[in-house]
Amino acid sequence: MAKHLTEMNIRKICEMMDGWRGPLTWRALVGAVERLIGQRYTRQALNSHERIRLAYTLRKKVVTEQPTQSIGSSNETRAMQERITRLEIERAHLARENERLLGRIAVWAYNASLHGLDEERLNRPMPSTDRDRTKTKVLKSIKGGKNY
């Protein structure tokens, strides 16, 4: 049984799809993910992650809308066209991810207001960390054998 996908693995898979060349199918993606991560995941497992599903949909759309013959014949022109395509995919992916995160923030704001948290309380800075105190506590526990 394959391990659960980590955030880093999901990011790697999405980046891989942003630069995908050729026809994109779930079967091809499953094989590429296995080579990339070293674990085999099913189409269903990959499709259950919203970011992967979104990246797949966006890339599939670009691949099907892409003209079969590239504009110009020089290598530089083709390389520039591929870079533009990759950046457009990345931009669309980031725009969708931004929308998803904004939706999540709206839910958090609503739930915070239900529990009586106002904007002033939510915007309070985090307490500072006294790193020297932490170091001395750890050193004392090591030397004295005490657990804190």
Q: What does the pLDDT look like over 105-138, one tens digit per residue?
A: 999 999 999 999 888 888 889 888 776 776 677 7
What confidence score (pLDDT) does residue 1 get? 56
Q: What's the rounded Cα separation, in Å, for the pair 139 and 123?
A: 35
Average pLDDT, the chain: 83
Find, among 37, 12, 33, the residue nearest to 24 by Cα. Answer: 33
Where along the chain do its domains lie?
Answer: 7-125
What confidence score (pLDDT) does residue 94 get? 86
Q: Are 52 and 46 in contact (CB under 8 A)?
A: yes
For residue range 34-68, list pLDDT tens digits in order: 999 999 999 999 999 988 998 898 888 877 776 55
Please tell me the least confidently modeled range out of 19-28, 68-77, 87-96, 98-107.
68-77
- pTM comes to 0.52
